[in-house]
Amino acid sequence: MFRQLFRHLREAQPHQVATMTVQELKTQLDARTPMVLVDVRQPEEFAYDGHVAGARLLPLPVLATRLNELPKDQPIVCICRSGNRSQVACEMLQRYGFTNVTNVVGGMIAWQRAGYPVNRQS
């Protein structure tokens, strides 16, 4: 009886967001694995704190209004400073029908701690 009562709650929950480490991201980038890497930080963070080469800046506050810039037929990998905003971005993308989204755990903090290169604008 309880299963039937609460079945709609289980069905309403979004799918679990896939995750990858910065090491996995680096490996995929080096292998030129097709993906759209989306950085959801603010423009000043992207420019001055550094970003992964090839990342597209789509700040989280405007992501929902710019979904048409993202392909639904390619993997989308989201990154931010620590992995929190990118998790929110992945959940949002799933709600809008994107099925192949992945969050980079640890974000740019983990990327830089691993010693991977960053692009900076001055």
Taking the chain, what is the end-to-end CA distance rounded to the nearest angstrom?
Answer: 62
Q: How many CB atoms lie within 10 A of CB 27?
A: 12
pLDDT above 80 (res 7): no
* DSSP structure class, residue 78: E
* SS3 (DSSP) at 77: strand
Is 7 among the domain residues? no
Range of the domain at 64: 16-113
pLDDT digits (tens, 9 = 90+) for 28-85: 999 999 999 999 999 999 999 999 999 999 999 999 999 999 999 999 999 999 999 9
Question: Environment class of residue 24 by beta-carbon count within 10 Å: exposed (0-12), middle (13-18) or buried (19+)?
Answer: middle
Percent with pLDDT over 90 in the chain: 85
Is 103 among the domain residues? yes
Residue 103: give its domain's CATH number.
3.40.250.10
Look up tokens 């480490």; give the residue.
21
Nearest Cα to Cα of residue 46 among 56, 33, 31, 36: 56
Catalytic annotation, pick one of 80, 89, 93, 108: 80
> Model-level pTM?
0.86
Q: Is 80 a catalytic residue?
A: yes
The domain total for the chain is: 1
Look up tokens 């048409």; give the residue.
68
DSSP3 helix / strand / coil % (the chain, rounded to 5): 45, 15, 40
Is 10 among the domain residues? no
